[in-house]
Amino acid sequence: YYEEPIHKMQMQKLKMNAFLHYDFTEAEGFGSALGLSLLDAAIDMLNQMKTFGTADVDVAIDGAGSGRQRKEIK
């Protein structure tokens, strides 16, 4: 938790753990702006990520990926 007492109370009330630890002592609003940008980037990545089939990636015929990858999944 951050040093800000209200932050600890909020997280305990919501029964959540902080997932970003910036260790800011002032301007905690700056940390929330960074956190929202990170979440926005993660959502964008998930929405635009291609599967092996749509990206036309070769399927492994031996090794660790053998039998676990399928090209027909789109």
Cα–Cα–Cα angle for 45, 38, 7, nearest 5°? 145
pLDDT in tens, 44-61: 988 888 777 777 777 777
> What is the per-residue pLDDT across 27-36, written as a single tens digit (0 to 9) for each?
667 777 777 8
Neighbouring residues of 18: CB distance < 8 A, sequence distance ≥ 6: 1, 2, 7, 11
Amino acid, res. 18:
A
Residue 1 and residue 11 in contact, taking contact as beta carbons nearer than 8 Å:
yes
CA 57, 59, 65, 68 torsion: positive or negative? positive
